[in-house]
Chains A and B, each alone.
Chain A
Amino acid sequence: MWKTILRRVILMIPQIIVLSLFVFILAKMMPGDPFTGLITPQTSPAQIARLRKEAGLDNPWYVQYVDWIGRALHGDFGMSYQMQRPVTSIIGERAINTLYLSILSVVLTYLIGIPLGVAAGRYEGTWIDTSIQFYNFISMSTPGFVVYMLAIALFGFALGWFPTSGSISVNASGVIGTIGSRIYHIILPSLLIAILGNASIVQYLRSGIVDNKLEDYVKTARSKGVPERVVFNRHILRNSLLPIAAFFGNVITGLLSGSVFAETIFAYPGMGKLFIDSVSGRDYSIMTALILLYGILTLLGNLLSDIIMSIVDPRIRID
């Protein structure tokens, strides 16, 4: 068990190194340098040259890379060009908003996905299964941003049920009022993310149930006279739910990549929106940090999935 996890973590190290090299090269290709954020109209060219030398920008690239990694490990990604503040604190403020959105989205994805998967698997071949399959086909095929757009036009503007931008309303007060306002602002985006993003859960659960139905232990249980309800809940469903648990990491990974569109369209101040804002403001230090962060989070998501998988399914453990 622990051996598997350790091995998996060690396998991740070269990936992180290559990722950081890639991001470093990308950062070098961008105009500007790590202290662009410090330069004001009062800074003279001589000062800039001195700053460049002090920051080691005249060193060979590998020295610069090691320096950069060293600073990044200490959480120092330089200064934001636009906001004149450390990148880490800006991202930190936004990350919490993305975290709220992601948590609600994950919860809703599972809340919607599991019943649908169970229904589709249990009533395989009936109209229930067919309609769930069709719904999944639509949710997988439609580009997400179009759906966000239509939903915001319909529920946000035309019907006025949900707020169309921001993460909290200006006049929210008190603990309940603040939390309520926050939830009210993320309910529509996270519901949409959940509706569009549950296809893999539904499909895995459905095929798990369909496969398990034919297993010998299910036949044995039936022939022993176990009630059908118990056969389904204890024997079929429990075994089919395991792989879904392992999907958790992948769901998080999917959420991250989707967050750019969702947050931009809903004008929600999270990391995805921060990225788009920093691109339009040419804020390269933030862009670099966010790409590295998203890559590492994706790696961690995959790691989490593999670990959960090796816990629930001992067969795939590597010895």
Chain B
Amino acid sequence: MADKKKTDQQTVQATDAKGNPIISAPPSGWRVIFREFTHDKGAMVAFVIMMFIILAAVIGSFFVPQSRYTDVNIMWQWARPGTDGLILGADESGRDVFASLIVGMRNSIGIGWGVAILIELIGIIVGLCSGYFGGWIDNILMRITDFFMILPALMIQIVVITIVPKFSIWVLITMITALGWMSTARLYRAAVLSQAKRDYVLASKTSGSSSFKIMFFEVLPNISSLLLVDITLTFATSVGVETGLTFLGYGLPDTTPSIGRLISYASDPVNMQNYPWSWLPATLMLIILSLSVNYVGKALQRAADARQRLG
């Protein structure tokens, strides 16, 4: 186990400017990432925006009365922003756009996190088994991964969602996960491969640790910085996939407030030109969320990659 710490620190520069080895212990992987991240001003801005949107959506949705985004109100049909205290106006059925936006953001963010966590779980398990055992296990798992890569994901998601007899939010989450885990699994496999032949693994094997223990308690902590990076980027992708499916009409049902449904108001040219308040805020919100989350992810990636560190 002492070796474990050492490999974690191999990427950290171990000499000072004159080439003398630094005596004091270099900072650990997570601390380096944190320091790198806080030094990156753009990343901090993106992080603040991302957290603001997520918190506003999650906390804000508690204060929005359900009737604002579910009840049909003819008096408010296509109400302009500002009338009757409607910040962003109302949609075709007189539902408050601002309330729908807040709750829709929360739904999309929730699904996005759900999918991201499931994808990381699958990715870690497949990647660890594939990279650690190698041989025929690796071969089989990678052929399965390759097969999933060639499937037309969007089409299969749509077809399954339409033919499933009882549609629920879990069907949506399962379908996005089922066709989105492949690149994550490959990423973890590559990382595990670079660890599998290291001394600490061999030492642990020699002293009789079970494969399970080596995989999950020794290899996994050493590649854990990947998790932070990949879960962020996967979250951003999943939100995009979910809103895309909902936009096409095969994601969240029409009665559930969602970003995708708000954006899809724009698919009718009349709405697009006459009622921009129904779709433009959701569109911009999705773009801002995607950009900020991806930026945070990329910054974490840079921070976790020793070659790209700012110093």
Contacts and interface: CB of A to CB of B under 8 A. Distances in A.
A295 B267 CA distance: 28
B163 A257 contact: no
A264 B147 CA distance: 27
B154 A141 contact: no
Interface residues of A, number: 42
B294 interface: yes
A137 B250 contact: no
A26 B156 contact: yes
Given A29-B163, A157-B272, A298-B150, A142 B287 contact: yes
B42 to A, nearest CB: 10
A19 B146 CA distance: 11
A291 B283 contact: no
B141 to A, nearest CB: 15
A12 to B, nearest CB: 10
A122 to B, nearest CB: 20
B281 interface: no
Interface string A147-167: 001101100011000001000
Contacts of B267: 149, 264-265
Interface string B139-167: 00000001100111111101110110000
B51 interface: no
Contact of A137 (B263, B287, B298): B298
B290 A15 contact: no
Contacts, number: 97
Interface stretch (B129-137, B181-189, B195-203, B240-248): B240-248
A225 interface: no
Contact of B244 (A31, A145, A287, A294): A145
A172 interface: no
B236 interface: yes
A298 B156 contact: no
A146 B291 CA distance: 13
B163 A143 contact: no
15 contacts: A138-B291, A141-B294, A141-B295, A143-B240, A143-B243, A145-B244, A145-B247, A146-B286, A256-B152, A264-B248, A276-B248, A279-B250, A291-B152, A298-B150, A298-B152
Interface of A: 15, 18-19, 22, 26, 29-31, 137-138, 140-143, 145-146, 149-150, 152-153, 157-158, 164, 256-257, 260-261, 264-265, 275-276, 279-280, 282, 287, 290-291, 294-295, 298-299, 302
Given A137-B294, A157-B269, 16 more contacts: A15-B146, A26-B160, A30-B159, A142-B290, A143-B240, A143-B243, A143-B244, A146-B283, A152-B272, A153-B272, A157-B272, A260-B155, A264-B248, A275-B155, A287-B155, A291-B156
